């Protein structure tokens, strides 16, 4: 089967915060080899686990982001191990890591060394703040980069603490930015054979995801405030509801302007009227003339009252289906079960069954992140067991024999 | 400045609003010639959204639009005009890659879907991105990233455990899916280089965003467990939260995952004996007694500015960070050192801070060169010089209202 990047290889030395980068390359056909310390990557113990069983082969984090990769064990912290890694680097295309800046240099595995062994090597680094600058050595988990990257100041309820998502989005963003950087560098390499260093900052990755918050300050000196289920930063200084309660959950909907907004608003108002829940002000609106920037507080509060009452009279499913049928800009606030049961995703044959022989069942995974006429993503095999591919990689790639392997094992290198 | 990576790559850009323009922006900032086809008859929604220069609305005055369209050329073309076809044909003939993010079916309505483009240019690479993909019962449901973020499960994971879900700021899916789209396009270019074959890519913003939430979906499929919001708390760390500091609405976050970090935190707080407090002797216990822990930390942070608290804690090895608002972001010493922002001068908007890519390439860094285009700003250059349109025809099309 054709793939975009079949025939290329990557060494992945990241911990859980960087796994997603290599996962994306693996989806596109790169043979990604996870290099784990002997005994396995410590983040294999990251919960949640399959059936709650806290074992290194059952972390769902591990499964999710290492699908399609191979695994070898190697202690790069000792000289013999570092030497083995240098041999592997000569035969790979991408080298992905998220150690603190300087850590690999101290092991004789710095960029200059590896690049001289393989001038075409694309080195992909993911760190909280980048390889240089005053915060270079600062420590960070997701909440720290979400804070310093600006996302938290604008997320959460007014009067309460700023919020991150209860999911480490800054790691996702940084890993994807790193994968994009790897691809840009790869494109250059294919034309010139020159490798290079891709220095990715999680803080900067978060900063780019702030929609209009930076230009609002930069151009108008308007500070967007945390508004919970509302949206602030509109020119008229009012807040507009975007998350609504319904009979059995929540939905997301905004009264918006423009041609699309007008169609959506009209369709909702017509639906409300048809069910005898119309509102005079909404029914008499000239939606084509509607301008978000000048809509008054009075408008928003009346609209909110009428629309809110209508939503409360319906279930999430009714509102979702009604919005699809009528072309209304409304979506349910999905919980995982809703996503799993989506008729739309099922019709697109999105979900992938991945065999997990060790637990005796197939597990359902999100499917390919794009569809293609020429190079469809082949859903990868389940994430590797600790050192599952030691024999294959060390024999075939490095050409080591039984004696060498036994020797490395004895010395605790693999 | 050296050669930029995508110099020579020609991108025909039919995108609008956020997800599409962000997708082509990375190519433009790295040197591709990206021609954005727009029409004043149906302007990009973000051209009509604040912030406007001097708060005065105007099609070329929005800093919101500007943010996602650096280094692109802008031409105007009314796709609804019967003579638009001859212009599109030339643009297709010129380009390597075409990208669009209309509601599925729109381009076909104008007569320009992949099958048609391919007839003109057999090795064209075309990418369509839409909220929910090109096929399936909800593919035509119009929407935008602001609400797709809820459909895709992110909003449900945001908020306090004692309150309803809350919107993660902005339109998160619009910042996840374009990265995967550009990655796929570069992959398609590599495939074309090797085989000479083009292809069509269907990028569903819903599906591609779910890639990041794979752990949450596995937890549902394998365990029947619904991950949900938990404020700022974490199953992997305690203390873990945002703590009030000196000043109005000023906060510092602190996250303690390891015993080593816990010992360091107690030292920083000036309360080394806390390590012996039976409520806090293990991560499990600290999790159980987080409210008490939060009070102790609040006591300490509220006597300091966020920056002071962060620096003291970081110097002793505790992950901490100031909650920065956009004004503070522009002054952040780390972002300054990294040259994250670059000021470009736009003819209508004036100076504006644009952002460099978060990945810095050692040999071929991106170079932000041009601010966003005004509507039709490059009509002459693109239509006449690049496409070689004869003068008479160019003038005729202008007069006939095709190039608006």
**Does one domain contain both A134 and A29?**
yes
Sheet of strand A9-12: strand arrangement? A70-73, A31-36, A9-12, A94-97, A122-127, A196-201, B359-361
Q: Which residue of A has its CA nearest to B3?
A: A188
pLDDT at residue B240 greater than cutoff 90: yes
| A-chain residues near B53 (CB < 8 A) | 219
For chain A, say whether B211 makes contact (Cβ under 8 Å): yes
pLDDT at residue A291 greater than cutoff 90: no
d(CA B164, CA A243): 9
Decide which of A333, A359, A394 is a domain's last residue: A333
Q: What's the CATH code of the domain at A179?
A: 3.40.50.10540
Decide which of A300, A333, A366 is a domain's last residue: A333
**Does one domain contain both A144 and A284?**
no
**Does one domain contain both A72 and A157?**
yes
In this prediction, residue A141 carries a pLDDT of: 97
Query: What is the enclosing helix (H) or strand (E) of A66?
Result: helix A60-66
Distance from CA of B56 to the nearest CA of A (A): 10
Does any domain span residue A149? Answer: yes
Average pLDDT, chain A: 95
Q: Determine if residue A412 is left, alpha or beta; phi over 0 gives left, psi from -120 to 50 gives alpha, anything else beta.
A: left
d(CA A108, CA B342): 36
| A-chain residues near B207 (CB < 8 A) | 345, 348, 350, 366-369
User: How is chain B split among helix, strand and coil, in percent rounded to 5?
Assistant: 40, 15, 45
Q: Determine if residue A40 is left, alpha or beta; phi over 0 gives left, psi from -120 to 50 gives alpha, anything else beta.
A: left
Residues A13-39 have a mean pLDDT of 98
Report whether A170 contacts A127 (CB < 8 A). no
Report whether A330 contacts A251 (CB < 8 A). yes
Does any domain span residue A43? Answer: yes
Residues B365-388 have a mean pLDDT of 97
Does any domain span residue A3? Answer: no
**Does one domain contain both B71 and B112?**
yes
B positions 220-279 inside 8 Å of A (CB): 220-223, 225-237, 240-244, 251-253, 255, 257, 261
Cβ neighbours of B347 (radius 10 Å): 10
pLDDT in tens, B70-110: 999 999 999 999 999 999 999 999 999 999 999 999 999 99
**Does one domain contain both B161 and B77?**
yes
* Token couple for A48: 């949640």
**Does one domain contain both A66 and A19?**
yes
Does any domain span residue A219? Answer: no
**Does one domain contain both B195 and B274?**
no
pLDDT in tens, A20-30: 999 999 999 99
The single residue listed with the structure tokens 């996962």 is: A23
Decide which of A307, A333, A359 is a domain's last residue: A333
Cis link prior to B239 (omega < 30° from 0)? yes
Does any domain span residue A222? Answer: no
pLDDT-derived band at A231, boundaries 50, 70, 90: confident
pLDDT-derived band at A233, boundaries 50, 70, 90: low
In this prediction, residue B94 carries a pLDDT of: 98
Across the A:B interface, residue pairs with CB atoms under 8 Å apart total 525
Determine whether the interchain pair A219/B326 forms a contact, defined as Cβ–Cβ distance below 8 Å.
no
Distance from CA of B168 to the nearest CA of A (A): 6
pLDDT in tens, B1-58: 568 999 999 999 999 999 999 999 999 999 999 999 999 888 998 998 889 999 999 9
**Does one domain contain both A374 and A266?**
no
Report whether A397 contacts A91 (CB < 8 A). yes
Report whether B82 contacts B101 (CB < 8 A). no
Query: What is the enclosing helix (H) or strand (E) of A97?
Result: strand A94-97
In this prediction, residue A235 carries a pLDDT of: 59
pLDDT in tens, B178-211: 999 999 999 999 999 999 999 999 999 999 999 9
pLDDT in tens, A340-390: 999 999 999 999 999 999 999 999 999 999 999 999 999 999 999 999 999
% of residues, chain B, pLDDT over 90: 96
d(CA A196, CA A185): 7
Cβ neighbours of B317 (radius 10 Å): 17
Model confidence, pTM: 0.98
**Does one domain contain both B192 and B74?**
yes
**Does one domain contain both A126 and A254?**
no
For chain A, say whether B325 makes contact (Cβ under 8 Å): yes
Nearest to B141 among A156, A183, A324 (CB): A324
Provide the number of structural domains found in chain B: 2
**Does one domain contain both A315 and A399?**
no
Instruction: Look at A56-65, A179-188, A224-233, B32-41 and tell me which has the smallest mean pLDDT.
Output: A224-233
**Does one domain contain both A57 and A32?**
yes
* Token couple for A407: 């020797």
The single residue listed with the structure tokens 């993911």 is: A126
% of residues, chain A, pLDDT over 90: 89
Does any domain span residue B244? Answer: no
Does any domain span residue B309? Answer: yes
Report whether B137 contacts B163 (CB < 8 A). no
Does any domain span residue A270? Answer: yes
**Does one domain contain both B182 and B274?**
no
Determine whether the interchain pair A258/B45 forms a contact, defined as Cβ–Cβ distance below 8 Å.
yes
d(CA A166, CA A143): 9
Question: How long a stretch of residues is chain B?
Answer: 404
Q: What's the CATH code of the domain at B256?
A: 3.30.1540.10
**Does one domain contain both B296 and B394?**
no
Report whether B323 contacts B331 (CB < 8 A). no
Does any domain span residue B233? Answer: no
In this prediction, residue A1 carries a pLDDT of: 63
Quote the crossing angle between the two packed helices B205-212 and A169-192, to the nearest 10°: 110
Decide which of B277, B292, B322 is a domain's last residue: B322
**Does one domain contain both A76 and A200?**
yes
Determine whether the interchain pair A213/B154 forms a contact, defined as Cβ–Cβ distance below 8 Å.
no
**Does one domain contain both A62 and A89?**
yes
Displacement of CA B12 from its chain's centroid (Å): 20
Determine whether the interchain pair A144/B321 forms a contact, defined as Cβ–Cβ distance below 8 Å.
yes
pLDDT in tens, A146-169: 999 999 999 999 999 999 999 999
Decide which of B322, B352, B383 is a domain's last residue: B322
% of residues, chain A, pLDDT over 70: 99
Domain of residue A154 covers 9-209+346-410
In this prediction, residue A397 carries a pLDDT of: 86
Domain of residue B391 covers 10-212+336-399
Q: What's the CATH code of the domain at B84?
A: 3.40.50.10540
**Does one domain contain both B157 and B297?**
no
Distance from CA of B231 to the nearest CA of A (A): 7
Report whether B44 contacts B76 (CB < 8 A). no
* Token couple for B142: 């119009």
Q: H helices of B269-340, where? A: 283-288, 290-301, 306-315, 326-331, 333-337
In this prediction, residue A179 carries a pLDDT of: 99
**Does one domain contain both B257 and B387?**
no
**Does one domain contain both A350 and A329?**
no
| B-chain residues near A149 (CB < 8 A) | 324, 329
| B-chain residues near A28 (CB < 8 A) | 183-184, 187
In this prediction, residue B260 carries a pLDDT of: 97
* Token couple for A318: 């009714």
For chain A, say whether B339 makes contact (Cβ under 8 Å): no
Does any domain span residue A300? Answer: yes
d(CA A170, CA B281): 30
Residues A361, A366, A371, CA angle at the centre, nearest 5°? 125
- Alpha-carbon torsion angle B155, B161, B162, B165, nearest 10: 0
Q: What's the CATH code of the domain at A268?
A: 3.30.1540
Nearest Cα residue to A171 out of A131, A123, A127, A124: A127
**Does one domain contain both B135 and B16?**
yes
Nearest to B257 among A141, A185, A204 (CB): A141
- Higher pLDDT: A234 or A228? It is A228
Rg (C-alpha) for chain A, rounded Å, is: 26
d(CA A201, CA A215): 21
**Does one domain contain both A80 and A39?**
yes
**Does one domain contain both B174 and B42?**
yes
Q: What does A197-257 look like in DSSP terms, one character per residue?
A: EEEEEHHHHHHTT-TTHHHHHHHH-PPPPP-TTEE---TT---EE-EEEETTEEEEE----
pLDDT-derived band at A257, boundaries 50, 70, 90: confident
Does any domain span residue A338? Answer: no
| B-chain residues near A251 (CB < 8 A) | 150
Residues B119-131 have a mean pLDDT of 97
Query: What is the enclosing helix (H) or strand (E) of B22?
Result: helix B19-29
For chain A, say whether B116 makes contact (Cβ under 8 Å): no
Does any domain span residue B329? Answer: no
Decide which of B322, B349, B379 is a domain's last residue: B322
In this prediction, residue B2 carries a pLDDT of: 65
In this prediction, residue A236 carries a pLDDT of: 64
Query: What is the enclosing helix (H) or strand (E) of A126?
Result: strand A122-127
**Does one domain contain both B346 and B306?**
no
The single residue listed with the structure tokens 């090895």 is: B317
For residue A73, give Cα distances in angstroms to A39, A109, A111, B354: 7, 17, 22, 43
Does any domain span residue B231? Answer: no
Average pLDDT, chain B: 96
**Does one domain contain both B27 and B109?**
yes
Q: Which residue of B has its CA nearest to A326?
A: B141
**ipTM confidence:** 0.98
Q: Which residue of B has its CA nearest to A30?
A: B187
Distance from CA of A409 to the nearest CA of B (A): 30
Q: Determine if residue B90 is left, alpha or beta; phi over 0 gives left, psi from -120 to 50 gives alpha, anything else beta.
A: alpha
In this prediction, residue A53 carries a pLDDT of: 98
Provide the number of structural domains found in chain A: 2
In this prediction, residue A232 carries a pLDDT of: 78
In this prediction, residue A294 carries a pLDDT of: 80
pLDDT in tens, B350-359: 999 999 999 9
């Amino acid at each position: 089967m054709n793939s975009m990047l079949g025939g290329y290889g990557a060494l992945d030395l990241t911990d859980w915060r960087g796994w997603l980068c290599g996962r994306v390359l693996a989806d596109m056909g790169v043979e990604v080899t996870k290099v784990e310390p002997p005994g396995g990557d410590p983040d294999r113990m990251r919960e949640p686990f399959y059936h709650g069983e806290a074992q290194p082969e059952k972390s769902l984090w591990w499964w999710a982001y290492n699908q399609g990769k191979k695994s070898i064990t190697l202690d790069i912290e000792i000289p013999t191990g570092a030497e083995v890694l240098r041999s592997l680097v000569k035969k790979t295309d991408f080298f992905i890591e998220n150690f603190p800046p300087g850590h690999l240099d101290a092991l004789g595995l710095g960029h200059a060394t590896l690049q001289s062994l393989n001038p075409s090597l694309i080195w992909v680094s993911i760190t909280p703040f980048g390889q240089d600058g005053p915060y270079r050595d600062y420590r960070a988990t997701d909440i720290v980069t979400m804070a310093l990257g600006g996302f938290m100041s604008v997320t959460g309820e007014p009067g309460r603490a700023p919020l991150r998502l209860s999911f480490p989005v800054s790691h996702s963003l940084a890993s994807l930015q790193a994968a994009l950087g790897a691809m840009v560098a790869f494109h250059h390499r294919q034309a010139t054979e020159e490798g290079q260093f891709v220095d990715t900052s999680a803080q900067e990755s978060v900063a780019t995801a702030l929609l209009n918050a930076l230009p609002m300050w930069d151009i108008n000196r308007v500070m967007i405030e945390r508004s919970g289920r509302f949206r602030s930063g509109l020119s008229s200084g009012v807040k507009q509801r975007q998350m609504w309660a319904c009979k059995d959950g929540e939905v997301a909907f905004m009264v918006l302007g423009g041609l699309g907004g007008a169609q959506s608003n009209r369709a909702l108002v017509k639906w409300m009227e048809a069910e005898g829940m119309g509102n005079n002000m909404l029914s008499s609106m000239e939606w084509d003339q509607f301008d978000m920037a000048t809509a008054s507080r009075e408008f928003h509060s009346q609209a909110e009252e009428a629309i809110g009452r209508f939503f409360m009279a319906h279930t999430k499913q009714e509102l979702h289906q009604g919005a699809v049928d009528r072309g209304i800009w409304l979506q349910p606030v999905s919980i995982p079960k809703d996503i799993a049961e989506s008729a739309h995703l099922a019709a697109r044959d999105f979900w992938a069954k991945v065999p997990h022989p060790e637990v005796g069942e197939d597990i359902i995974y999100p499917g390919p992140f794009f569809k293609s006429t020429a190079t469809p993503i082949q859903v990868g095999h389940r994430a590797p067991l600790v050192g599952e591919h030691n024999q294959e990689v060390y024999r075939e790639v490095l050409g080591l024999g039984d004696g060498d392997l036994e020797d490395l094992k004895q010395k605790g290198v693999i | 400045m050296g050669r930029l990576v995508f110099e020579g790559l020609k991108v025909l850009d039919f995108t609008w609003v956020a997800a599409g323009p962000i997708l082509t922006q990375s190519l433009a900032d790295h040197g591709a010639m990206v021609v954005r086809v727009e029409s004043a008859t149906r302007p990009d929604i973000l051209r009509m959204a604040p912030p406007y220069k001097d708060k005065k609305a105007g099609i070329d005055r929005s800093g919101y639009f500007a943010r996602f369209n650096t280094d692109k050329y802008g031409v105007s073309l009314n796709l609804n005009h019967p003579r638009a076809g001859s212009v599109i044909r030339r643009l297709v003939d010129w380009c390597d890659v075409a990208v669009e993010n209309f509601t599925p079916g729109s381009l076909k309505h104008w007569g320009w879907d992949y099958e048609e483009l391919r007839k003109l240019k057999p090795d064209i690479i075309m990418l369509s991105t839409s909220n929910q993909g090109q096929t399936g019962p909800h593919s035509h449901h119009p929407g935008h990233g602001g609400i797709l973020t809820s459909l895709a499960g992110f909003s449900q994971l945001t908020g306090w455990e004692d309150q309803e879900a809350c919107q993660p700021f902005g339109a998160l899916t619009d910042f996840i899916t374009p990265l995967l789209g550009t990655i796929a396009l570069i992959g398609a270019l590599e495939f074309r280089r090797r085989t000479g074959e083009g292809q069509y890519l269907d990028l569903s913003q819903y599906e591609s965003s779910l890639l990041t939430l794979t752990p949450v979906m596995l937890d549902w499929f394998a365990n029947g467990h619904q991950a949900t919001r938990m404020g700022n708390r974490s199953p992997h760390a305690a203390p873990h939260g945002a703590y009030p500091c000196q000043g109005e609405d000023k906060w510092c976050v602190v996250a303690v995952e390891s015993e080593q970090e816990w010992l360091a935190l107690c030292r920083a707080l000036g309360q080394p004996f806390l390590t012996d407090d039976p409520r806090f002797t293990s991560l499990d216990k600290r999790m159980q007694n987080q409210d008490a822990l939060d009070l102790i930390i609040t006591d300490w942070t509220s006597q300091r500015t966020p920056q002071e608290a962060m620096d003291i804690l970081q110097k002793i090895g505790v992950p901490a960070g100031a909650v920065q608002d956009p004004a503070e972001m522009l002054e952040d010493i780390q972002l300054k050192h990294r040259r994250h922002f670059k000021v470009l001068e736009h003819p209508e908007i004036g100076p504006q801070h644009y952002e460099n890519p978060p990945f810095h390439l050692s040999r071929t860094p991106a170079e932000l060169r041009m601010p966003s285009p005004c509507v039709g700003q490059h009509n002459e250059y693109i239509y006449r010089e690049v496409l070689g349109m004869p003068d008479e025809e160019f003038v005729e099309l202008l007069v006939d209202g095709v190039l608006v």
